[in-house]
Amino acid sequence: MSAMLRAIAGAAFVFALSLSLTAQPHSQQPPLDKAARAWVDATLKKLSLEQIVGQMVFAPFQSTYLSSDTDAYDELVKLVHETQIGGVIAFGGTEPIPQVMLNNTYGAVVLGQPMELASILNRLQSISTLPLLASSDFEWGVQMRIAGATKFPRAMAFGAAGDPQLAYEAGKVTGTEARALGIHVDFAPVADVNNNPRNPVINIRSFGEDPARVGEMVGAFSRGLQDAGVLATLKHFPGHGDTDVDSHLGLPVVPHPRERVVSVELPPFKAGIMAGAAGVMVAHIELPALDPEKQPATFSPKVIGTLLRPNFDGLIYSDSMKMAAITKMATPGEAAVRAVKAGIDVILDSPDSAAAAAAVVAAVKAGEIPRAQVEQSARRILEAKARLGLHRTRTVNLDAVPLTVGGRKHDSVARAISEKSITLIKDARNQVPLPTPRTGSVLYLSVLDYPSGWRIAAPSRAVIPALRARWPNTESVEISDRSTPSELDLVRAMADNYDAVVAGVFVRASSASGRLDLAPPVVKLLQDLARSGERRSQSTSALRATVDKPFVAVFFGNPYTPMFVPEVPAMLMTYDFSDYAEESAVKAIAGEIAIGGKLPIVLPGLFPMGHGLTRAAR
């Protein structure tokens, strides 16, 4: 094929991709009123180049207590005064841990505090020449980062519950609490279609595997957020769901042909855009079918400038620029310049925000980036601030925080979603609800992938007391990849002495862990417990009563874990890690709630998407 024909074919494909996002007229951001428009125009007119570029940089901070008389606060003040950043991104907190080998089980991550977050934002807003656009990752509610706020199940639980209205309500609660704390942008919902069982970074953060159903949930959650006054941001464009590399650690490659991207990855983003989502976050992933130059989407004019921008007039954010997919290939300044050249409006969470801004300024002065382009990005950012009313009021009332953040009304929405999502995928012996009398004995196994890093969501902390409240004679044991052979043998022997065995299986798909499964000896134990009744049924009649001993496994987190232990006779899915998920699972085992969740994914070799047994509450 000649170069001219290749160019024509490429242009035709880009046009086809654009049509895939614009089968209907794409959603426009709401128009500004006269006063807001005048503020944007007047503000932009008086900004220097350095101030214009500064608007495009959002710097990170932690939302634990921060005195104004600290180096950390001084660094933020310097970014506000000298770099004149346009916004910030709030994280939770971290604590120092010993960097030791072998038995390091410490968790460094902690949640931030609501009053501290609001206080820091109020202080930064008061010293900034222009209002700051404050953002955070509240994918599963504000408690993803902030203690005491409402925590919803992970997105895949919404997919299992199958109720877009609940997704809308969760978005609205999240937005209401976020605005009360001074947060204006939520980097949610996740619009990725998770169809790779080995995806180490999306997994239960996705609503599921069916593009249409994912799009339905994405649209509902986006509308809820924005009805509460928070800007929704779809991520990770054009789709991070079918990767087997964590972009926190390296550069994932999506090898699929163009047609597959159009039919599977793009529909949820289209649904979110049609629902009015104000932002899109671009993924650090390589898509050779879309960009033959094999550069990350973050640096790709073909992905951002040609595919996304013509169909979307909101803000385009980079993903965190601290992720290894980017830091391994460019300095903070180089990365910022390449991202802006590609069409990014906001450089998010750079390893060096000041250096990123300075490099973009230098590139504009050198003619590498048109000044008109950065002015247009700054305009979009200022317009977003004006739509939120930040040109009028930029601080929040600290006294109102306890009245808005958390509380029973918001918790009731989270509990409803958690209970509705519980999915019974197998019940070979018809033992769910558990037939064991309340006077019977239960052995509970807390089965972990590995015991480190559980600082925030300690496994089984809600399951154990909930089981004991219903079956007082419950004994609990924790096992993991660190359990010795003798310990596992002890558990095998113990199981014979109980009337029922319940296993809570906790497997994470967490950033930077590189792990997704259980240790082989732990898998073998679960298989042995599942098969023990079958073996005994073929022996003497005196032991035949043990055949029907209940054995129920509840899977928390990675929904593909049942593929490792298909022998288990009864399996419940929660798609989450939380106290509510644990409590809902016990209620389902006890027959206190109806079970009606449906698999939002395919479990290869086991069950199709949409599978799920139903049980009435008793």
Mean pLDDT value of segment 262-274: 97
Q: Is 188:175 a contact under the CB 8 Å cutoff?
A: no
Full-model pTM: 0.93
| β pairing state of 570-573 and 423-427 | antiparallel
Residue 353 has pLDDT above 80, yes or no: yes
pLDDT (tens digit per residue) in 456-509: 889 999 999 999 999 999 999 999 999 999 999 999 999 999 999 999 999 998
Q: Under a CB-based contact definition with an 8 Å cutoff, are residues 37 and 283 in contact? A: no
Q: What is the pLDDT of residue 533?
A: 53
| Dihedrals phi, psi of 592, to nearest 5 degrees | -85, -20
**Strands 473-479 and 423-427, sheet pairing:** unpaired
Question: Under a CB-based contact definition with an 8 Å cutoff, are residues 57 and 102 in contact?
Answer: no
Domains assigned to the chain: 29-60+69-80+107-393 (3.20.20.300), 422-590 (3.40.50.1700)
- If you write DSSP's letter for every residue of 178-208 in order, what string do you get? HHHHT--EE---B------TT-SSSGGGS--
**Banded pLDDT at 43 (limits 50, 70, 90):** very high
Provide DSSP, 5-25.
HHHHHHHHHHHHHHHHH-SSP
Provide CB contacts within 8 A for 318, sequence distance 6+.
Answer: 281, 282, 298, 339, 344, 346, 347, 348
Q: What is the pLDDT of residue 513?
A: 65
Beta strands, E only, 407-455:
423-427, 441-448
Show which residues are catalytic: 248, 319
Looking at residue 216, what DSSP letter applies? H
Question: Which DSSP helix (H) or strand (E) runs through 477?
Answer: strand 473-479
Query: 3-class secondary structure for 363-411?
Result: HHHCCCCCHHHHHHHHHHHHHHHHHCCCCCCCCCCHHHHHHHCCCHHHH
Residue count of the chain: 618
- Tell me the pLDDT tens digit for each residue of 385-441: 999 999 999 999 999 999 999 999 999 999 999 999 999 999 999 999 999 999 999
Write the burial class of residue 50 (CB in 10 Å: 0-12 exposed, 13-18 middle, 19+ buried). Answer: middle
**How many angstroms separate the CA atoms of 363 and 343, rounded?**
14
